[in-house]
Amino acid sequence: MGISLFQLLTLFGSLSLFLFGMKTMSEGIQKLAGDKMRSILSAMTSNRYMGVLTGFLLTTLVQSSSASTVMVVSFVNAGLLNLVQSIGVIMGANIGTTTTAWLISLLGFKLNIAALSLPLIGISFPLLMMSKERFNSMGQTFLGFALLFLGLQFLRDSVPDLQNNPELFASLQHLTEYGVYSTFIFLGLGTLLTIVLQSSSATMALTLVMCNNGWIGFEHGAAIVLGENIGTTITANLAALVGNVYAKRTAFAHTIFNVFGVIWMLVFLRFFLGQIDYFMIESGLSSPFQNPLMVPIGLSVFHSVFNILNTFLLIGFIKYFVIAVEFVLPSKGLKFERPQLEYFSSGFLHMAELSLFQAKKEVYKFCELSHRMFNFIPALVVETDKKEFQEILERVSKYEEITDRVEVEITTFLIKVSQKQLSQHASEELRRLRIICSEVEKIGDVCFKMSTILSKKKEEGVYFTPAQRSDLFEMFKLTNDAFELMIQSLRKSELGARNDLQQAIDNEHRINEFRDNIRETVIEDIESGTAQVKSAFYFNKIITSCEKIGDTIFNIYEVVAGVNVE
């Protein structure tokens, strides 16, 4: 059967509508909920079992594992869910999609969620016209849901109308004559049909029709069901193509989970189906191997039990799934020697307000980078090997280049985000992030100057006295304490940071007081002859540089806490 250009464009348009609906819905949700969305999702996915329950309820509600997994991918892309949480939700989505088979088998119909699209659009339009931001965001969310489900419906309608032409599948009957190879043939068929139809539910309906008409048997129907589990991962992978590395990892974890489940089930398939046959006969029903009318119920049992069993067999191995996908899809930003930013993404899943949340995580990493750079300075003080000293010196230089480039990239990203429609709160957050980036870059500059001071000291053959070294490391400790408190504050809300403001003030006072005492000590040591002038000069420079870093850290803390923001 050929396909015309019009049909091809219709198919592409349907996919585009689906993706646009997903984007609109995600933007509306994150504008509507903001920080609350992160709290809600964190509560719902607080552990792996709650994540499974969340995925089950979500997929049962929308009657589409494709829609629910795409939602999960978009939330991971935005940083609302981490990889561990998303895997649990996807496991639950696999169980939730089995409810469709039961509806078809027991009630003979499939709930059509797309029928709600027009009423949702009717609700969303007046909300979009309202000036109040919350109602506007709510309307955008409803509109996104409507367009997403319309897109899924158009996807199913724009492919050749296989469901209403079951005679097209009558020729499949002869494929059951190849023994064990038939199982793999029907496995591939289930995968292909699900990819084409973009719906495991539609493929399940077709499978039940074929089995009910006696064209294929119970075992081959089960093979198609297993193929559906592989084919249904394609939609999430398509959505993740335009997402960041975390979205790609989530989609890939979905694929690994489903493929691994299919592999072990193929090994025990005949035994498993035999147990279902025994259970149905003992329950007073006919054997699905003998009575084609019982195959739909048998496949519904198989589909549900397989997904439930697969979930509870593999739920304890989520951390190994995470390790596997991180190995296959490493984050370029994990290595501090490379200046790539791992949370930012461009393209379709790039959303204004959620991009701000991603920027926060990138700024947090930027602060950690500056902290790591600072910790090279104590190593330069104590290192005596010339080669090792030079290697550390080169790393500091490399980090200084990285801090400059990261500061430019983050600032450029924030400027682009500021040009989009943002809430007032988000605009204020964006302004603060730009200030923080500028301050962090200053820390990198000071650390680099400290490294050049220590390099020059070594070239001149100047050594610190034991007392000077002891004072230096005391100052390094005070600065590190300020660093750690500042980095912790970035994880907290503005109110949480304000609660620790007094501790930040105390750290700043201790650093300043220590610097003042050192100045007096330096003069006394030079006058008494216990320290050389050059040694005291370099010593005082390092102490003063640490104090400058302390001032910058306190400036950042004030910005985070919303106090005295310039």
The overall average pLDDT reported for the chain is 78
pTM over 0.85: no
Count of domains in the chain?
2
Question: Has residue 566 been placed in a domain?
Answer: no
Are residues 324 and 375 located together in one domain of the fold? no
Same domain, 371 and 320: no
Tell me, what's the pLDDT at 521?
A: 78
346 lies in some domain: no
- 386 and 299 both lie in a single domain: no
Residue 178 per-residue DSSP state: S
Distance of CA 523 to the CA centre of its chain: 55
Q: For residues 186 and 227, is the Cβ–Cβ distance under 8 A?
A: yes
Per-residue pLDDT tens digits for 32-42: 655 555 555 56
- The answer for residues whose C-beta is within 8 angstroms of residue 552's C-beta and 6 or more apart is 439, 440, 442, 443, 446
Q: Which of 480, 454, 453, 475 is nearest to 374 (CA)?
A: 480
Residue 29 and residue 113 in one domain? yes
- Domain contains 84: yes
Q: Is 513 inside a domain boundary?
A: yes
Residue-wise pLDDT for 175-223, tens only, equals 666 667 778 888 888 888 777 766 666 677 667 767 766 677 788 888 8
CB 64 within 8 A of CB 100: no
**Residues across the chain:** 566
Same-domain check for residues 417 and 477: yes
For 104-126, the pLDDT digits (tens) are 566 543 445 567 788 888 888 88
In a shared domain, residues 260 and 295: yes
List the domain range (segments joined by +) for residue 257.
5-328
User: What's at 339, amino acid-wise?
Assistant: P
Judge whether 337 lies within some domain. Answer: no
**Does one domain contain both 498 and 407?**
yes
Q: How many CB atoms lie within 10 A of CB 31?
A: 24
Residue 382 domain flag: yes
280, 288 contact by CB (below 8 A): yes
Residues 418 and 539 in one domain: yes
Asked if residue 238 and residue 372 are part of one domain, the reply reads no
Percent of the residues in the chain that have a pLDDT greater than 70, as a whole number: 73
Residues 357 and 319 in one domain: no
Q: Which residue has the higher pLDDT, 174 or 548?
A: 548
Q: Are residues 315 and 357 in the same domain?
A: no
CA 41/CA 80 separation, integer angstroms:
7
Residue (of 487, 527, 498, 268) closest to 374 by Cα position:
487
- Residue 132's Cβ-count burial label (10 Å; 0-12, 13-18, 19+) is exposed
Please give the Cα distance from 141 to 109 (Å, whole number).
28
Query: Comparing 49 with 547, which gets the higher pLDDT?
Result: 547
Asked whether residue 234 is assigned to any structural domain, the reply reads yes
Give the single-character DSSP code of 60.
H
DSSP H or E run through 542: helix 533-561
Statement: residue 340 has pLDDT above 50? no
- 278, 293, 328 — which closes off a domain? 328
Separation between Cα atoms, residue 442 and residue 47, nearest integer Å? 40
Burial 285-294 (b: 16+ CB within 10 A, else e): ebebbeebeb
Q: Is residue 114 part of a domain?
A: yes
Please say if the pLDDT value at position 26 is more than 90: no
Query: Rounded CA gap, 552 and 441, in Å?
Result: 10
Q: Are residues 507 and 384 in the same domain?
A: yes
